[in-house]
């Protein structure tokens, strides 16, 4: 199954609902899996796509007002921590965990920096995002709808 924007947002929205429920979640991937992610990599990619969508929404509202970009930067910082949880929660070897967490954090920060260089109004925005995370751009729906049910600040 293709990871369209709509599907990625649905996966992330479900995870947001679970994290917002105050229920203990030992492995972050489980919340994404219950939302439809089939692997940790797919959950991570959905998370990347949701972050790119939030950037696109922020950057196009009120011409990327500074306060909105600050909100995105806070969101990106918290999202990096969630990305590390998606990848690392199942790792029990401390050395592997440390190495994987550092690599995941660096990769997420690099992704965010790259997305911030893109023109969020350009037709090639989504193909470039998908290329950056290394998956095929789906030819089906990629019409972003804001996640109004679960605002980003509820995620963490």
Condensed to tens digits (0 to 9), the pLDDT of residues 29-55 reads 999 999 999 999 999 999 999 999 999
Quickly state the pLDDT bin for 65 (edges 50, 70, 90): confident
pLDDT at 71: 87
CA dihedral 9, 13, 15, 19 (to 10 degrees): 150
- pLDDT grade, residue 149 (50/70/90)? very low
Could you give the CA distance from residue 113 to residue 84 in angstroms, rounded to a whole number? Answer: 17
Of the pLDDT bands very low, low, confident and very high (cuts 50, 70, 90), residue 140 is low
pLDDT number for residue 27: 96
- Per-residue pLDDT, 148: 44
The confidence score (pLDDT) of residue 139 equals 77
Residue 83 has pLDDT above 90, yes or no: yes
Q: What does the mean pLDDT of the chain come to?
A: 88
pLDDT value, residue 37 = 98
CA 112 to CA 117: how far, in whole Å?
9
Tally of residues, the chain: 156
Summarised one tens digit per residue, pLDDT across range 96-119 is: 999 999 999 999 999 999 999 999
- What pLDDT was estimated at residue 155? 47
Nearest Cα neighbor of 46 from 69, 14, 75 is 14
Q: How far apart are the first and last CA of the chain?
A: 28
Sequence-separated (6 or more) residues with CB below 8 Å from residue 47:
12, 32, 79, 82, 83, 86
């Amino acid at each position: 199954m293709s990871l369209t924007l709509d599907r990625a947002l649905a996966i992330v929205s479900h995870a947001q609902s679970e994290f917002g429920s105050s229920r203990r979640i030992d492995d972050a991937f489980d919340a994404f899996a219950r939302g439809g992610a089939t692997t940790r990599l797919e959950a991570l990619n959905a998370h990347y796509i949701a972050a790119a969508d939030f950037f696109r929404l922020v950057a196009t509202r009120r011409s990327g007002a500074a306060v909105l970009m600050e909100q995105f930067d806070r969101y990106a910082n918290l999202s990096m921590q969630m990305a590390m949880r998606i990848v690392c929660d199942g790792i029990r070897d401390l050395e592997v965990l440390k190495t994987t967490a550092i690599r995941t954090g660096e990769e997420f920060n690099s992704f965010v920096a790259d997305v911030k260089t893109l023109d969020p109004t350009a037709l090639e925005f989504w193909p470039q995002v998908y290329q950056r995370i290394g998956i095929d751009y789906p030819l089906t729906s990629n019409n972003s709808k804001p996640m109004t049910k679960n605002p980003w600040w509820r995620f963490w």
